[in-house]
Amino acid sequence: MQLEKIQAYLKEHELGGWLMADFHARNDIAVSVLGLTSHLTRRFFYFIPSEGEPVGLVNPVEGAKFAGLPGRIILYKGYKQLEEELAKLLSGRRRVAMEYSPKGRLPYIGLVDAGTIEFVRDLGLEIFSSADLVANFQARLTPEQIASCRVASHNCVEIMGLTHEYIRKALVDGNAITEFDVCEFIRQKFDEYDMMTVFGPNCSVDAHAGDSHYDPTAAASSPIKRDSLILIDLWGKMKTDYGVYGDITWMAYAGARRDIPAKYTEIFEVLAQARDTAVAYLRENIGRRPVYGSEVDDACRAVIEQAGYGQYFTHRTGHSIAANEHGPGPNIDNLETEDGRRLQQGHLFSIEPGIYMEDCGFRTEINCLISHEGVEVTTLPLQTEIKALL
């Protein structure tokens, strides 16, 4: 935990402290920030003031689990003593940050129950969302993580090429091949590249590509035939303690370029333009003013809407990436949630616009890193057209 830097941030933003509250490890932000790894079953509060030592309010049953944290630990017995101690702890404070999302617009952050929020407000405090605090201290990659993400990104692009060749060879040789076979091939390559993934990858053919979360299995998987439209989404990280994911999606066609339907080409061109518009928007504004995930989503989505496909773009433009494939930082989203978190140096995220119809679906996905030099696309080269496999 970066205590001194957190306190400096609190002072800069005129906050009296950061109040973390949890029950049964539901507030995974608090659990992660405090580095708690044991099973948690009781309520706790941990308060980091803008000045002075932190204080934890912990049930005696779990007191030992908090012994290594900085500051003072107060053991409470029963909810009445807990409420009394919390009132004393917050006495004289005016503004605190908590895992709270106004109107529930950002549920990734809204992890403290309404009753606890009510209790703290009744003590006379004004509660602010910890969203930017979390984005600043939990989602910014270290130099080691950045190096790892670049390697993983390079490997993902290389494995994508090998996967296309695997499909092409099967088609040329007349061998049967399914979506699940492709996923198994990718998993094998991850092992060879000393990479891992918790779940996935995904290969979706024709109508299955119209389902953005389709998941082929050994028991239910479509064959890949000539003239099939193929969406491959793969993500993985290096097998290290500081590994960070690379995550890409490419479109391919099981045929010659001249045979790709004009409709497919048109849709992919719209997506590529939307993707590149999002990157250009980032590069034009990052470093000049605060930029938020929601506005990048708007810039990308506007291209697809203007092309007449807005109703088929049914998910956010991108998600945070870190040690987990979906990280704790700002998402590129103003559809599913209103992500008003500021994009900061060290943040990594995907840009992945998609168009999904009943008979087919399309997506292009890249990863962007906010580095000290600006906006870096870590998953080059960009896909500029549907890849013809024959």
Domain that holds residue 65: 3-137
Residue that terminates a domain, selected from 137, 166, 189: 137
Residue that terminates a domain, selected from 103, 137, 171: 137
Do 300 and 213 lie in a common domain?
yes
pLDDT of residue 50: 94
**pLDDT over 80 (residue 1):** no
| Residue in 54, 56, 55, 58 with CA at minimum distance from that of residue 76 | 58
pLDDT tens digit string along 256-266? Answer: 999 999 999 99
Q: What is the maximum alpha-carbon separation in the chain?
A: 76
How sure is the predictor about 343, in pLDDT bands with cuts at 50, 70 and 90?
A: very high
In whole numbers, what is the pLDDT of the chain averaged over residues? 95
**pLDDT over 80 (residue 119):** yes
Does the pTM surpass 0.85? The reply is yes
Q: What is the CATH number of the domain that holds 208?
A: 3.90.230.10
Adjacent-strand bridge partners of 370: 375
Counting residues of the chain whose pLDDT is more than 90, the rounded percentage is 90
Residue type, 42: R
Q: What is the CATH number of the domain that holds 113?
A: 3.40.350.10
Do 98 and 191 lie in a common domain?
no
Q: What burial letters (b/e) apply to 326-362, b meaning 16+ CB within 10 Å?
A: ebbbbbbbbbebbbbbbbbebbbbbbbbbbbeeebbb
How sure is the predictor about 326, in pLDDT bands with cuts at 50, 70 and 90?
A: confident
Cβ atoms of 105 and 129 closer than 8 Å: no
Mean pLDDT along residues 294-304: 98
Which residues, including other chains, have CB under 8 Å from residue 339's CB and lie 6 or more apart? 106, 292, 293, 294, 297, 316, 330, 331, 332, 333
Do 118 and 151 lie in a common domain?
no
Residue that terminates a domain, selected from 116, 137, 158: 137
pLDDT tens digit string along 11-52? Answer: 999 999 999 999 999 999 999 999 998 889 999 999 999 999
Do 219 and 89 lie in a common domain?
no
Domain count, the chain: 2
pLDDT of residue 37: 84
pLDDT tens digit string along 155-175? Answer: 999 999 999 999 999 999 999
pLDDT of residue 373: 87
Do 243 and 113 lie in a common domain?
no
